[in-house]
Amino acid sequence: MAARDHDAPRVNGDAKGRSRDATLETGSLPRHDLLSSVCHDLKDPLASIVMGAGFLRRVLPESEATASARRVVDAIQRSADRLSRVVGDFSDLGKIAQGTLVLHPASHAVAEMTRSAFETSKALVAGTEIELALRVAPEAEAARLRCDRARVEQTIVTLCAAALRLAPERAKIELAVATTPDGGARFEITVARESAGGMAPQRPDGAKLGLALAKGLVELHGGEISASSTGDTSSFCASFPGDSPPKPAQQKRSRRRKDATAASRGAAFLAQRTMKREH
């Protein structure tokens, strides 16, 4: 009996070990933990690349002899900046899935937010043949919205980036803002092909991450996001409410009910709709 009693803990320990091994083999680590770990590991080397490229750009003299080198450095800088945005998007998406992304609402000027996001988005189309335009409705010039300004601007820039990925080589992307009947704001990003014979988008799958993030941020504000496609025009629309923005406690409960998989599926649906073209 003593031997059996002595062996029992060992058997139990082996079972726990097998359970841990099975966890590793099946990859059942929570997705948000994996996202957080990967994003954390990528941030430091990415920061070094961005800083290094910036340093090289400053020290290289403006001369014909260094023109090729400066172009390479600029390409490295753009790629590193884009990858930094992707890492940031993954990190924010993980926080939304965990319910740890907290909004800091305050009253902000709608037109000012939109123009700020527009200026940031200009860097996305640099070096392309795509035109980025802005249209602010007259009633939006004096409108204010209670929201987390940084997250609203992030949503606009993210949708512009998604539109860029869905756009052909020659297209026009327009960012338009108007007010809603409840005192909220409606941001619409439209992609119009230059002609019916324009080239098809080259990177449609790359838009899914941005759309998932934008969907999560808009819904945290109590708003809605949608997509539509008609002929040569596709558009994303993000509406933020003005009458009853979510309170912090409501945000927390709402976030806990949300799942990252649902957000991804919703984003995939949005991307699929925008990729439809009339033949």
What mean pLDDT value characterizes the chain? 77
Please report, rounded to a whole number, the percentage of residues in the chain having pLDDT higher than 70: 69
pLDDT of residue 230 exceeding 60, the answer is yes
Q: Residue 158 has which token pair? A: 């993210």
Last residue of a domain, one of 98, 120, 143: 98
Question: Residue 152 and residue 240: Cα distance in Å, rounded?
Answer: 9
Among candidates 99, 93, 185, 97, which has minimal Cα distance to 142? 185
Query: Do 246 and 200 reside in the same domain of the chain?
Result: yes
Query: Do 155 and 69 reside in the same domain of the chain?
Result: no
Mean pLDDT lowest among 84-88, 105-109, 161-165, 212-216: 84-88
CA dist list (Å): 236 to 203, 207, 233, 239: 17, 12, 11, 10
Query: Do 27 and 146 reside in the same domain of the chain?
Result: no
Query: Do 150 and 202 reside in the same domain of the chain?
Result: yes
Question: Residue 169 and residue 190: Cα distance in Å, rounded?
Answer: 15
pTM tops 0.75: no
- Which domain does 270 fall in, by range? 106-275
Helix axes 260-275, 149-166, angle to 10 degrees: 40
Query: Do 26 and 82 reside in the same domain of the chain?
Result: yes
Query: Do 14 and 120 reside in the same domain of the chain?
Result: no
**pLDDT digits 0-9 by tens, 58-85:** 888 888 878 888 888 888 888 888 788 8
CATH number of the domain enclosing 256: 3.30.565.10
Q: Mean pLDDT throughout 248-253? A: 45
Query: Do 170 and 203 reside in the same domain of the chain?
Result: yes
Tell me how many domains the chain contains.
2
**pLDDT digits 0-9 by tens, 115-153:** 999 999 998 888 788 999 999 999 999 999 999 999 999
Query: Do 1 and 86 reside in the same domain of the chain?
Result: yes
Across 37-51, 126-140, 195-209, which has the greatest mean pLDDT? 126-140
Query: Do 89 and 142 reside in the same domain of the chain?
Result: no
Query: Do 113 and 77 reside in the same domain of the chain?
Result: no
Query: Do 14 and 60 reside in the same domain of the chain?
Result: yes
CATH number of the domain enclosing 11: 1.10.287
Full strand arrangement of the beta sheet holding 185-193: 131-136, 171-179, 185-193, 233-240, 224-230
